[in-house]
Amino acid sequence: MAAKPHRLLPGFGLALGYTLVYLSLLILLPLGGLVLKSAELGFGQILDIALGERSLAAFRVTFGASFLAAAINAFFGLIVAWVLVRYPFPGKRFVDALVDLPFALPTAVAGITLATLYAGNGWLGRHIEPLGIKVAYTPLGIVVALTFITLPFVVRTLQPVIEDIETEVEEAAASLGASRWQTFVKVIFPAIFPALLTGFALAFARAVGEYGSVIFIAGNLPLISEITPLLIISKLEQYDVLGATALAVVMLGLSFVLLLAVNLLQWWTANRHNNAEPLEVAAGKASGVST
């Protein structure tokens, strides 16, 4: 007979019950309603709507731009997070606070500001349009808006993880003869990679659903720069709630599959990393010294 596992803090049952009720009310209920509503259409009809030429183009634009934006932030967000954790410099707290601004700013304001900035006569657009780079009212503008909106996700996910890596680990790697590059690739990067994936996934998920900022800079031309949320709004404008639900469900499904894939990848790397190689071991390996 297995003994009941002993826990130091009581209240597991209550907390679990609360968690389930809370998540059901907040997430399962609305999403369930959405799926249920879409079930009024047949599977074939949902596919017809999702596979229409404009829908397909919009899916491509939405997921493509979101992926790019998340990837850009994975790279530059990592640098920002690293700098904010590792280097003291004047005004650091101010810069740190700046990172959160895209969270706080109403997205429409962000979109209008970016459009003004990148338009042909804007502060930035004035200089880059003569070079043949058009940002405002092109798919590139969508990427810019999404990159802006999703920056905090990567930075804020990485910061605590980077803080946890003690500088001693780097020193150990160095003292064991690892080059700087080896230290980064074999010691630091594996430790932050799972968090980087989480940040990427959060940024991606946020970008896919973004509407407010994008429509002001996208140009919204059919087949070129229309995002899926705009098509959903367009369906609602026609009082076609079912059609809108169908698009939303397909979008939700695609996002879910992609996020699941990212989570699996993250779980796999984290497992491999944690089970096989504690940091110190990795530090030893990187330097080629057997432990």
Partner 1 sequence: MTPFLKRATAVCFSLFLGTAWADVTLLNTSYDVARDVYKDYNPLFQKYWFTKTGEQVDVKQSHGGSTKQVRAVADGLEADVVTMNQANDIEFLVDKGLVARDWAKKFPNNASPYTSTMVFIVRKGNPKAIKDWSDVAAPGVQLIIPHPKNTGNGRNTYLTAWAWSLKQPGGSNKSAQDFVGKLLKNAPLFAAGGRDATTTFMQRGLGDVLITFESEAEMIAKEFGKGNFEVVYPSLTMQTEFPVALVEKVVDKKGTRKQATGYLEYLWSKEGQENAAQNYLRPRDPELLKKYASSFPPVKTFTVDEVFGGATKAFSAHFKDGGSFDQIYVAK
Residue of 128, 77, 120 lying closest to 99 (CA atoms): 77
* d(C-alpha 284, C-alpha 286), whole Å: 5
Q: Which of 38, 199, 216, 249: binder of partner 1 (CB under 8 A)?
A: 216
Binding to partner 1 by residue 47, rule CB under 8 A? Answer: no
Q: Which amino acid is at 50?
A: A
Binding to partner 1 by residue 176, rule CB under 8 A? Answer: no
- Smallest distance from the beta carbon of 33 to partner 1, in angstroms? 14
* d(C-alpha 211, C-alpha 228), whole Å: 9
- Smallest distance from the beta carbon of 115 to partner 1, in angstroms? 7
Q: Which of 137, 148, 153, 204: binder of partner 1 (CB under 8 A)?
A: 137
Q: Which of 70, 85, 135, 136: binder of partner 1 (CB under 8 A)?
A: 136
Of residues 95-114, which lie at the interface with partner 1 (CB under 8 A)?
112
CA-to-CA separations, 225 to 8, 119, 150, 222, in angstroms, rounded: 55, 16, 19, 6
Q: Which of 5, 104, 238, 291: binder of partner 1 (CB under 8 A)?
A: 238
| Token couple for 225 | 């720069």
Comparing CB distances to partner 1, the nearer of 107 and 287 is: 107
Span near partner 1 by CB under 8 A; candidates 59-67, 72-80, 191-199, 229-237: 229-237
- Measured between its terminal Cα atoms, the distance across the chain in Å is 41
- Residues whose CB falls within 8 Å of the CB of residue 180, separated by 6 or more in sequence, listed in order: 174
Comparing CB distances to partner 1, the nearer of 77 and 122 is: 122
Span near partner 1 by CB under 8 A; candidates 20-28, 94-102, 235-243, 261-269: 235-243
DSSP secondary structure string, 108-135?
HHHHHHHHHHHSTTSTTHHHHGGGT---
Q: Which of 16, 39, 109, 233: binder of partner 1 (CB under 8 A)?
A: 233
Q: Which of 54, 60, 92, 127: binder of partner 1 (CB under 8 A)?
A: 54
